[in-house]
């Protein structure tokens, strides 16, 4: 131990370091969540000191309420056994985080004019819409059912839901929104100070009040959003009626979850009356391609308006010429967007004639229908966890759910229940583990919960029997397989179930997810027993780099030469059909390399399918 360390340890003297906010975004929710996670690893008392306030550095809501903007400073106070190490590391981490904090670029508007009076606004998402301007009605919270959950249970469910959203959108920038909200509701104030629903609502109200009239008022919807998610799990839902014909929404602001829901309606555009282009709702509106603007002056509803977000113009009483002009611009803009979309159902071949199947990762019937519409050649990954989250589904419910999805595609890959790690079931007690990602998850869970596993396998078999199986191929995939013995045991159970119930297995194959590195060193043995492989690059990357995939700050690069080298090794050794179903499959920058390696089946999020197909046609 150095002399300096000895002195600090003996005197337990607090170390004060002045840190300055250098990001133009200020110290907002996403970087706060990252920083808090780093603080937790040190055996020290760490806090933020601003003027006369001292805030424990693990409390996201309290830090957010400081409303620290670009140029503001605070003191990082570290005291305790690892104070010196914490101060040095966190100072360096904070400075790098500020440099890397992404600034949402203001969208450049094109110059244009209309005959009618025009109201100018700030563009959130480009596009042109012509429809009725409709006011967003006040939301009503109603108790639809008694779920029997406590407030703590509901908060836990909300956190799981946010993590699932993060995983589903991980390749997109907006994924960080859901991860940040998860960290927000993980704060001690929600973990330990919410014995009742009333207290939970009081805390939300207090935290919102702290942000009002500050630069970070745009983060208030994040509190409203987690509030609604928690209440939903208690059986209290928001009822919002939207028009049954195309409309442009006029609203004060939107919650991120509301944007997610509105994209499935006949919405043509959005006019926000508050907020910023960097708000989480704005980020999602851009992601979903919904033409949107911010106009802060008072507006009223109108029968037909033009929302030209490309030029930043809202025309409330357009002339006939204005409408013709807007329709022409709209057609041109949509034609540009749909150039690849219109060819989404065509076979996908490289320039040298190699056929590549572009499959979909889906999680329920709704996403299956979306995948069908987006041009998926089949399903490369059907996650079955959607059936098991709230309560245990009956055998009949499972059969019906699988059957509906099986009807849509001729080529289907279904993954058996993947529970453990970051995913749990409220009705099954999974002992708490120090390292859950290295414990009972995937096939290990199913082999322990054999009754549940057998019922799921039988439900899958029965559903497949009911959808003309002679014209289809069903691949049953076991997750988190690490040894040949695990696969043989899982397949053995499946064969026993099939024999007991006279199931014809002629069009059913059994394979594994390659996500545990041990499989790479056992390919010769696996080649003798499996019918197919699917590489889950998300988990494979996690285990190769020993970085938990939910970690908010440590990020393992799935495009790293190390991962690509592992994928090449797998492709060279595999003697059975092989596909990729991790997020890497949707990254166009590595598409050509994956195809060159020999991967002819790529499974990805439905929204990415048309553009990836077009990319492949030019490889």
Q: What percent of the chain has pLDDT over 90?
A: 48
* Catalytic pick among 28, 78, 233, 581: 581
Banded pLDDT at 220 (limits 50, 70, 90): confident
pLDDT at 7: 46
78 is catalytic: no
Are 537 and 608 within one domain?
A: yes
- Highest mean predicted confidence (pLDDT) among 90-104, 337-351, 594-608: 594-608
Cα of first residue to Cα of last residue in the chain, in angstroms, is 58
pLDDT at 450: 94
If 0-12 CB within 10 Å is exposed, 13-18 middle and 19+ buried, where does residue 341 land? middle
Q: Is residue 497 part of a domain?
A: yes
pLDDT at 288: 82
Residue pair 459/433 in contact (Cβ under 8 Å)? The answer is no
Are 353 and 445 within one domain?
A: yes
Residue 519 burial (CB count, 10 A): 24
Are 526 and 581 within one domain?
A: yes
Q: Helix, strand or coil for residue 584?
A: helix
Q: Give the CA angle between residues 226, 103, 604 to the nearest 5°.
A: 65
Are 306 and 170 within one domain?
A: no
pLDDT at 1: 47
pLDDT, greater one: 12 or 91: 91
* Token pair 């509803």: residue: 301
pLDDT at 138: 57
Are 474 and 451 within one domain?
A: yes
Are 278 and 225 within one domain?
A: no
Are 468 and 484 within one domain?
A: yes
Q: Is residue 435 part of a domain?
A: yes
pLDDT at 551: 64
Residue pair 444/480 in contact (Cβ under 8 Å)? The answer is yes
Gap between the Cα atoms of 59 and 57, Å rounded: 6
* Catalytic pick among 28, 78, 233, 280: 280
For the cut 50, the answer to whether the pLDDT of residue 615 exceeds it is yes
CA distances from 526 to 27, 442, 512, 543 (A): 50, 18, 9, 19
Residue pair 311/118 in contact (Cβ under 8 Å)? The answer is no
Are 438 and 587 within one domain?
A: yes
Residue pair 234/154 in contact (Cβ under 8 Å)? The answer is yes
What is the domain range of residue 88? Answer: 3-100
* Token pair 């630069």: residue: 215
For the cut 90, the answer to whether the pLDDT of residue 208 exceeds it is no
Give pairs for 213-220: CB < 8 Å, separation 24+: 214/67, 215/26, 215/67, 215/69, 216/26, 216/28, 216/64, 216/67, 217/274, 218/275, 218/276, 218/278, 218/279, 218/280, 219/28, 219/29, 219/64, 219/279, 219/280
Are 231 and 255 within one domain?
A: no
Are 11 and 83 within one domain?
A: yes
Are 441 and 481 within one domain?
A: yes
Residue pair 234/149 in contact (Cβ under 8 Å)? The answer is yes
Q: Is residue 329 part of a domain?
A: no
Residue pair 190/155 in contact (Cβ under 8 Å)? The answer is yes
Structure tokens at 232: 């939903």
Q: Is residue 421 part of a domain?
A: yes
Q: Is residue 111 part of a domain?
A: no
Banded pLDDT at 3 (limits 50, 70, 90): very low
Structure tokens at 18: 């002045």
pLDDT digits (tens, 9 = 90+) for 226-259: 998 899 888 887 767 788 899 999 998 888 888 8
Gap between the Cα atoms of 266 and 250, Å rounded: 14
Phi-psi domain of 2 (left: phi exceeds 0; alpha: psi -120 through 50; beta: other) = beta
Q: Is residue 328 part of a domain?
A: no
CATH of the domain at 359: 3.20.20.60
Residue pair 256/234 in contact (Cβ under 8 Å)? The answer is no
Residue pair 487/478 in contact (Cβ under 8 Å)? The answer is yes
The total number of structural domains in the chain stands at 4
Banded pLDDT at 141 (limits 50, 70, 90): low
pLDDT digits (tens, 9 = 90+) for 4-45: 454 444 447 899 999 999 988 888 887 888 788 788 888 999
Q: Give the CA angle between residues 506, 501, 429 to the nearest 5°.
A: 105
Gap between the Cα atoms of 171 and 273, Å rounded: 30
Gap between the Cα atoms of 142 and 527, Å rounded: 55
581 is catalytic: yes
pLDDT at 452: 94
**Among candidate residues 320, 351, 384, the one where a domain is terminated:** 320
For the cut 70, the answer to whether the pLDDT of residue 171 exceeds it is no
If 0-12 CB within 10 Å is exposed, 13-18 middle and 19+ buried, where does residue 298 land? exposed
Gap between the Cα atoms of 46 and 55, Å rounded: 9
* Pairing relationship of beta strands 73-79 and 45-50 according to DSSP bridges: antiparallel
**Among candidate residues 213, 239, 265, the one where a domain is terminated:** 239
Residue pair 60/48 in contact (Cβ under 8 Å)? The answer is no
Gap between the Cα atoms of 83 and 504, Å rounded: 65
Alpha-carbon radius of gyration of the chain: 26
If 0-12 CB within 10 Å is exposed, 13-18 middle and 19+ buried, where does residue 363 land? middle
pLDDT digits (tens, 9 = 90+) for 263-313: 888 999 999 998 888 788 888 888 788 999 999 999 988 889 999 999 999
What is the CA 124 to chain-centroid distance, rounded?
21
**Among candidate residues 196, 213, 239, the one where a domain is terminated:** 239
Q: What value does the mean pLDDT of the chain take?
A: 87
Are 66 and 44 within one domain?
A: yes
Q: Is residue 326 part of a domain?
A: no
The β-bridge partners of 56 are 47
Q: Is residue 105 part of a domain?
A: no
Gap between the Cα atoms of 331 and 338, Å rounded: 10
Q: pTM of the predicted model, to two decimals?
A: 0.57
pLDDT digits (tens, 9 = 90+) for 97-134: 888 775 555 677 888 999 998 999 999 988 999 999 99
């Amino acid at each position: 131990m150095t002399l300096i360390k000895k002195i600090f340890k003996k005197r337990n003297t607090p170390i004060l370091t002045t840190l300055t906010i250098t990001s133009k975004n200020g110290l907002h929710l996403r970087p706060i969540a990252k920083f808090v996670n780093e603080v937790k690893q040190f055996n020290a008392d760490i806090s933020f000191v601003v003027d006369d306030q001292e805030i424990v550095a693990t409390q996201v809501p309290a830090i957010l309420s400081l409303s620290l903007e670009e140029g503001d400073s605070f003191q990082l106070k570290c005291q305790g056994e690892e104070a010196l190490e914490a101060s040095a590391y966190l100072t360096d981490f904070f400075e790098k985080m500020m440099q890397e904090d992404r600034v949402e670029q203001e969208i450049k508007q094109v110059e244009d004019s209309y005959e009618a009076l025009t109201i100018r606004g700030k563009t959130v998402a480009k596009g042109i819409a012509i429809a009725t301007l409709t006011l967003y009605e006040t939301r009503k919270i109603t108790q639809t059912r008694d779920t029997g959950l406590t407030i703590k249970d509901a908060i836990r469910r909300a956190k799981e839901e946010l993590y699932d959203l993060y995983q589903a959108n991980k390749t997109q920038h907006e994924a960080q929104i859901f991860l940040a909200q998860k960290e927000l509701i993980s704060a001690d104030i929600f973990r330990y100070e919410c014995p009742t629903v009333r207290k939970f609502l009081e805390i939300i109200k207090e935290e919102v009040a702290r942000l009002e009239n500050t630069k970070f008022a745009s983060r208030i919807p994040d509190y409203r959003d987690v509030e609604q998610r928690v209440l939903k799990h208690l059986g209290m839902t928001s009822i919002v009626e939207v028009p049954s014909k195309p409309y442009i929404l006029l609203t004060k602001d939107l919650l991120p979850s509301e944007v997610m829901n509105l994209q499935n309606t006949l919405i043509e555009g959005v006019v926000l009356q508050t907020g910023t282009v960097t708000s989480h709702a704005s980020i999602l509106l851009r992601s979903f391609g919904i033409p949107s603007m911010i106009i802060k002056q008072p507006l009223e509803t109108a029968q037909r308006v033009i929302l030209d977000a490309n030029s930043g113009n809202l025309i409330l009483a357009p002339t006939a010429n204005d409408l013709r002009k807007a329709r022409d611009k709209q057609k041109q803009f949509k034609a540009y967007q749909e150039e690849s979309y219109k060819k989404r159902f065509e076979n996908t071949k490289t320039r040298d004639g190699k056929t590549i199947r572009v499959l979909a990762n889906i999680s329920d019937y709704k996403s299956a229908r979306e995948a069908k519409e987006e041009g998926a050649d089949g399903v490369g990954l059907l996650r079955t966890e959607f059936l098991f989250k709230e309560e245990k589904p009956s055998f009949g419910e499972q059969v019906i759910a699988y059957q509906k999805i099986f009807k849509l595609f001729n080529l289907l890959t279904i993954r058996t229940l993947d529970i453990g790690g970051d995913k749990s079931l409220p009705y099954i007690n999974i002992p708490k583990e120090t390292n859950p990602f290295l414990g009972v998850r995937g096939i290990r869970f199913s082999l322990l919960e054999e009754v549940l596993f057998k019922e799921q396998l039988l439900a899958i078999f029965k559903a497949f029997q009911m959808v003309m199986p002679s014209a289809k191929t069903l691949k049953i995939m076991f997750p988190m397989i690490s040894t040949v013995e695990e696969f043989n045991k899982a397949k053995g159970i499946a064969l026993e179930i099939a024999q007991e119930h006279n199931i014809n297995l002629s069009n059913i194959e059994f394979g594994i997810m390659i996500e545990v590195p041990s499989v790479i060193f056992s390919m010769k043995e696996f080649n003798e027993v499996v019918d197919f492989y699917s590489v889950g690059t998300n988990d494979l990357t996690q285990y190769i780099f020993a970085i938990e995939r939910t970690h908010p700050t440590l990020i393992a690069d799935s495009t790293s030469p190390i991962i690509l080298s592992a994928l090449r090794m797998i492709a060279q050794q595999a003697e059975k059909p092989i596909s990729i179903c991790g997020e890497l499959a949707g990254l166009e920058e590595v598409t050509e390399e994956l195809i060159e390696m020999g991967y002819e089946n790529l499974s990805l999020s439905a929204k990415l399918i048309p553009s990836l197909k077009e990319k492949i046609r030019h490889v």
